[in-house]
Amino acid sequence: MSENKRASFGGKLSVVLVAAGSAIGLGAIWRFPYIAGKHGGAAFLLVFLISVFAVGIPTMLAEFAVGRRTRKNAVGAFRSLSKRWSWLGYNGVLGALLISGYYYIIAGWSLEYMVASATNMLYSSPLSFTEQFNEFQGSWRPLFYAAMFILLTHIIIARGVEKGIEKASRIMMPALFIILIIMAVRVAFMPGAMEGYRFFLSPNFEEAFAPETIMMAIGQAFFSLSVGMGCMVTYASYFKKDNNLVQTSCNVALLTLLVSLLAGLVIFPAVFSAGLQPAEGPSLIFVTLPEIFKDIPFAALWSTVFFLLVTLASLTSTISFHEVLTAYLAEEFKISRRWAARLVSLASVLLSALTLSLVFDIDFLGIKMAGATLVDVFDYLSANIVMPVGALFTCVLASWVMDRSFVKDELSNRGVLKSRVIPVVVFMLRYVTPLLILYIFLRNLGIL
Ligand code: PFF
C-alpha cells in the first residue's frame, strides 16, 4: 500500500479507544485481580501503577514513535529504520503467533459461558460449576468456541481498519465501562463484600517490594498494555501525524488501570461474599463467579452480562494481535488484506487445535509444570521472553541507535507540541526503562 493510500484511524477519541481496546482484555479483567490477590492486594496495585508509568508508558511511546514514523507493519517498520533491527519485527510476529495459540481458547471460554448463561443451561444443570467446567474442558466445545471467536475477530479484521477495528472499538469500549460499573455497584450490596474490599485494598508493603512482586507487576504491565510485540507499532502506523502520542499513551494507561481496578472491585467482594478463594487460577471467573451469581435474582442475566463483558474486552484485544499478523502478511508478501486475514485466521484455528490437544510435563531450565498445556507454554514464552526482549530492544533502538532527536521529534509532532513531559520520556527511555526491563528479564531467567 502506498503512503497516501494507507488507512488511518479517525479522530483523537478513536485512537485512544482502539489502543485501549487492545490493552484492556483478559489481562485486566482476569489476570490482574488474580495476581494482585496473590501478591499483596493494594501493595501490588501500587507497584503495578509504578511499573505502568516507569516501563509501560515509555515502551508504548517508543512503539508509537516507530509505528507512526514508518507507517508500516511491525517487520517493515523496524526494517525501514535499520535493516539490522528487522529481527525485532519478527520477534513481534512470533509473539502474536504465541498469543494466538492460547488467547482465543480462553476468550472462547467466555463466549461459551455467555451462551450457557443466556440459555440458562449453566444454572439449570444438575452438575456443580466445577463439574460443568471440567466437563466443558473435556468436550469438543472449547475448540468450537475458540473457532467462533476467531471467526468474530476475522469478520472485524476483514472489514478493514476504519470500518472494522475503529468502529468496533468505539461501540465496545464504552459498553465495557458501563457494564463494569453496574457490576461493581451490584456486588457492593452482597453480604460479606467488605472483606473483599479489605483484601484488595489494604496494602502490605513488605510484599510490595519483594523482587517477585516487582517482577510480576512489570510483567503484568507488558501484557496488559500490549507492549513488546509490535502491536502498538502496527496500530500507530494508522495514527495521524497530528495525534498527540504522549496524551494517547497516558489515556490508554489510565483506562487500563481503571478497568483493572474496577475488575478487582467486582471480583474480590464477590469471591469473598461466597466464601471462595481469590487465587483460584484460570478457573477463577468461570467457576467462582457463577457460584456467586446463582444466589442473586436474575442470575442468568447477570452472568450473561458479565461474560458478554469479558467477550467484548477480549475481542478488542484479539483484533489487535490478529492485525499484527494480517498487516505483516499483506504488506510484506504483497497479498490482499482479505487473503492475509484468512491465512491468519486459519493458522489461529490450527494453533488453537494443537494447544487443546497436547498435555505434557515440563522440567526444563528450572521450570517445572506437571500436566502443562501449550496454554502455559505459550503464555510463559510470550510474557516472559518475547515481550521483555521486544520492549527492551525497542527502547534501545528508539533512544540509542536512532538519531538523538528521533523520539523527541515524533512525540512533539516535529516541534509543534511543546510539553515538559517529552524530555522526561526521552530520559526514561534512555536510562530507566531499559535497565528495569533488563533487571526483571535476568531475574526471570534466574540469572540474577
Ligand atoms: N493486552 C491484552 C490483554 O490484557 O488481554 C493482551 C495482548 C493483546 C497482549 C495484544 C499483547 C498484544 F499485542
What digits encode the pLDDT tens for the residues 178-207? 888 888 888 888 888 898 898 888 877 777
Among 73-82, 138-147, 160-169, 386-395, whose mean pLDDT is lowest? 160-169
In which band, very low, low, confident or very high, does the pLDDT at 116 lie, cut at 50, 70 and 90?
very high
- Look at the chain and count its residues: 448
Residue 161 confidence (pLDDT) above 70: no
Query: Mean pLDDT for the chain?
Result: 87
Helix ranges (DSSP H) in 336-373: 337-357
Q: What percent of the chain has pLDDT over 70?
A: 92
Look at the block and give the residue holding cell 442475566.
301
Are 15 and 255 contacting, i.e. CB atoms less than 8 angstroms apart? Answer: no
pLDDT at 168: 72
pLDDT at 12: 65
Q: C-alpha cell of 430?
A: 534512555
DSSP 400: I
Residue 4 confidence (pLDDT) above 50: no
- CB atoms near residue 423 (< 10 Å): 11
Are 92 and 382 contacting, i.e. CB atoms less than 8 angstroms apart? Answer: no
Report how far residue 277's alpha carbon sits from residue 64's, in angstroms, rounded to the nearest whole number. Answer: 40
Q: C-alpha cell of 130?
A: 466445577
Are 222 and 52 contacting, i.e. CB atoms less than 8 angstroms apart? Answer: no
Among 10-24, 140-154, 247-261, 424-438, whose mean pLDDT is lowest? 10-24
Residue 243 confidence (pLDDT) above 80: yes
Sequence-distant (≥ 6) Cβ neighbours of residue 422 within 8 angstroms? 246, 408, 411, 412
pLDDT at 321: 95
Q: Is the CB of 110 under 6 A from ligand 1?
A: no
C-alpha of residue 23 to centroid of ligand 1, in Å: 5
The residues with which 359 forms a beta bridge, in sequence order, are: 373
Of 446, 448, 442, 425, nearest in space to 56 by CA: 425
Report how far residue 346's alpha carbon sits from residue 322's, in angstroms, rounded to the nearest whole number. Answer: 11
In which band, very low, low, confident or very high, does the pLDDT at 347 lie, cut at 50, 70 and 90?
very high
Q: Is the CB of 226 under 6 A from ligand 1?
A: yes
Q: Is the CB of 230 under 6 A from ligand 1?
A: no
CB neighbour class for 394 (10 Å; exposed up to 12, middle 13-18, buried from 19): buried
Sequence-distant (≥ 6) Cβ neighbours of residue 115 within 8 angstroms? none
Residue 370 confidence (pLDDT) above 70: no
Which of 320, 324, 387, 389 to probe ligand 1 with, by most ligand atoms within 8 A of CB?
320
Report how far residue 96's alpha carbon sits from residue 67's, in angstroms, rounded to the nearest whole number. Answer: 16
Q: Is the CB of 224 under 6 A from ligand 1?
A: yes
Residue 288 confidence (pLDDT) above 80: no
Average pLDDT over residues 267-276: 82
Which of 34, 94, 223 to probe ligand 1 with, by most ligand atoms within 8 A of CB?
223
